[in-house]
Amino acid sequence: MVAACPEGTSWITEEGERARLALKGNAPAIRAELHAGVSDEDYVTTVKVLRQFVRNAGGTITS
């Protein structure tokens, strides 16, 4: 859903843009369902632990 041009740049296709907008519209409901029953504190702790697992396994965290 991304098209490339000869100069090496790329852009999202119309189909990709439709998919992006659909996901954007559904993202809040998806997030709410995934986070149901998980406090913000527990979520943050989980992310920190998973990042440490990655570092312990020799991986890097980029974001």
pLDDT digits (tens, 9 = 90+) for 23-46: 999 999 999 999 999 999 999 999
What does the block give as tokens for 54? 């990655």
Buried b (16+ CB within 10 A) or exposed e, 19-30: eeeeeeeeeeee
pTM value is 0.57
* pLDDT classification of 2: cutoffs 50, 70, 90: low
Res 11 pLDDT > 90 = no
Cα separation, 16 vs 6, whole angstroms: 19
Q: What one-letter code names the amino acid at 5?
A: C
Considering only CA atoms, give the Rg of the chain.
Answer: 18
Tokens in use for 38? 């998980």
Residue 22 banded pLDDT, cuts 50, 70, 90: very high
For the chain, the domains span: 2-56
Which residues, listed in sequence order, are joined to residue 40 by a DSSP beta bridge? none
Higher pLDDT, 57 or 2: 57
